[in-house]
Structure 1
């Protein structure tokens, strides 16, 4: 195997596949990156058996030569060393050659490295996925949907199913739900093509976070293929495989109140900034509790106190308050996460009582919803 390649493009692809490489794997070869070189280009693969990422660097792209292949072949190289070497090479191009006994020679300018390779035939094969039904979304929409929900997954392994985002495909709509049992994030989007089947799967939050880091913002489509235990995300030069979580996701639809006793409409940015200020003191406490009270027709009071530090009180103007008077306490962090995810100028907050979950919706669209459980303090 011997080829010359643009160093910056190789660095970029390595950064992507490294997100799937774990140093703590029980399978030694998975600490490496697999390189497969053929006449079409250079394919890099990284995997930790939960996530597998494959990127392709074509020989020519947009009339620009990215790689010149002298001899095809494959090799597995230690990911950490290979990545560090390529990043620090002096020139814009790098030549890589596999010689006897899998010795791999790397040259760029006056810098030369020789590192031990591993037999690529020993590297596990990527999951074989039957493509019965392919779903597509614009990349930027998928990224937005992930960002608006994945923060609410559970970080505790006591209920593994809650560490993932529940995907439901029904009536040509894709719905994401994430909850850690203290809050819930819900986002819906229409699918472009007709899909007759209903699908329910749970995608690990870790996989979605890594996918979001790799994907560039673009309106290009991304294909998604589902099987019983795997999901594949595919763009022109990227394939991202993730295992699905096993088990049944809880029915979260009954958590969302159908009616409310108090409704507040206000500017999301002003509310977020007030909660942020109140959290400065709340953070010193163990649970970051902020108190919220309706005080007059068009204003609410945000307050927080820490016995060791002091107290903060702020009055925030609203656009409208309807229904019963209300005093409620909640996690400032959870509310800030929800407000950042909603991406809306104005929001409607619907309360059903001081000890019942409350719901935040965008005034602009009904495709997003955030739900938070209150904290008992009053």
Structure 2
């Protein structure tokens, strides 16, 4: 193997695939990056057996081949090289590679490339495609509602549904639920409803930053494969039944409050200062053109703030977890929103004021005056 490529492109690729490596593994090869030559470049792959990241880098290939190198060492070396051409050489059949860039030279030991786990075939059953920027937004607007509780694995991922011309991403931890819908550029080739682990979705969203075009989705060997030119993400699926989320979403309300998102976010953030030691509870009550937020921790103090709103319906006072509110407000990407309430002990719903593609449902907190 003998290739050369720009340090900046190689570093970006190494950093992306490195996110697919787990710090806790009993298989040494899972701490290594597989490098394979292609016609006009090299392909880097890393996996923890649940998630695999694969990036293609344009390079001059003088001799074909494949090798593995330790991910941490490779990242440190490439990250500290100057922004110049990096050359990687390894004799055929050898596990030792030479990395050179200007006056810097390294000799690094790898493991046999044949030890690296085989990935599912990339020509699996086509599912459909979603615009990269839309997919990143759909992930960011739902993933914070995923549960970290491993005893309920069906809640530890994002439920991805493609059906006809519509895609839905849903996440819930039992105390809140986020649902984002989007229209597909073309109808899905097959209907799917699968649970994708949170880590895979998180790394996919990070890798899609700045990417243009459509993300192709394919099913292969109980894995969902996401592909854009130069990038492929493989994710093992969670083989459980996702709960019936539709029955959780309120279909009516007794009070609806229209408010500027940024103004409400700032108010909740300030009110949460005196709520941290009392389960992070913030109370809300709107009447006419005024929404009042209060929080109180006897050992710390209390806060009160008024926000200008437009409220319709009967006044309702409800209490919610401030962090849950801020998670939504930080990601809703809408200048104005509707907060819909049906009662002090009933779930509330937050929706963008100008479209119906997103809804966030959160359970109230029972408080005693």
Residue 309 of structure 1 is matched in structure 2 by 300
Corresponding residue of 1:17 = 17
1:106 paired residue among 94, 99, 105: 99
Partner of 2:77: 85
Contact 2:260–2:336 (Cα < 8 Å) also in 1: yes
Aligned pair count reads: 367
Corresponding residue of 1:160: 153
Match of 1:252 in 2: 245
Deviations 1:205-241 (A, max 9, x none): 1111111111133441111113462111111111110
Residue aligning to 2:36: 36
- Contact map agreement 1:224 1:233 (CA 8 A) in 2: yes
Shift of 1:196: 5.7
CA gap 1:11/1:197 in 2 versus in 1, 3 angstroms: closer
Q: Deviations over 1:6-56 (max 9, x none)?
A: 111111110111011123122211110011124321111111101111111
Q: 5 Å matches for 1:345-364?
A: 345-364=335-354
Over residues 215-274 of structure 1, what are the superposed CA-to-partner deviations in whole Å (9 max), with x where a residue is unaligned? 133441111113462111111111110111111000010111221112211222211111
Name the counterpart of 2:230.
237
Is the CA contact (8 Å cut-off) linking 2:128 and 2:189 kept in structure 1? no
Q: Given that residues 129 and 188 in structure 2 are in contact (C-alpha distance below 8 angstroms), is that contact kept between their aligned partners in structure 1?
A: no
| TM superposition score normalised by structure 2 | 0.95
Whether 1:340 aligns to 2:330 is yes
RMSD of aligned residue pairs (Cα, Å): 1.5
- Give the corresponding residue for 1:272: 265
Structure 2: distance between partners of 1:55 and 1:373: 41
Deviation at 1:91, TM superposition (A): 5.4
Secondary structure, counterpart of 1:248 in structure 2: coil
Whether 2:309 is the aligned partner of 1:322: answer: no
- Please state if 1:291 is matched with 2:273: no
Contact 1:152 1:180 (8 Å CA) reproduced: yes
Structure 2 SS opposite 1:36:
strand
5+ residue gaps, structure 1: 59-66
**What is the CA-CA distance between 1:5 and the residue it aligns to?**
1.7
Residue aligned with 1:361, SS: strand
What's the TM-score once normalised by structure 1's chain length? 0.93
Query: Which structure 2 residue ranges, 5 or more long, are not aligned?
Result: none
1:51 aligns with: 51
d(CA) in 2 for partners of 1:15 and 1:186? 30
Q: Which shows bigger deviation, 242-251 or 321-330?
A: 321-330
Once residues 190 and 358 of structure 2 are traced to their aligned partners in structure 1, the CA distance between those partners, rounded to angstroms, is 23
Corresponding residue for residue 321 of structure 2: 331
Aligned counterpart in structure 2 of residue 188 of structure 1, from 181, 188, 192? 181
Instruction: Confirm or deny: 8 A CA contact 1:155 1:163 kept in the other structure.
Output: yes
Preserved contact between residue 90 and residue 111 of structure 1 (Cα < 8 Å):
no
Q: State the shift of 1:144 in Å.
A: 0.5
**Pair 1:3–1:361, CA change in 2 (3 A):** same
2:60 aligns with 68
- Which residues of 2 match residues 145-224 of structure 1 at below 5 A? 145-195=138-188, 197-224=190-217
SS at 1:118's partner residue? coil
| Distance in structure 2 (CA, Å) of the matches to 1:101 and 1:53 | 24
Moved over 6 A (4+): none
Deviations 1:271-324 (A, max 9, x none): 111111101111233x20001123x322121000111211111121112x2222
Contact persistence 1:31–1:78 (CA under 8 A): yes
In 2, the alpha carbon distance for the partners of 1:211 and 1:36 equals 22
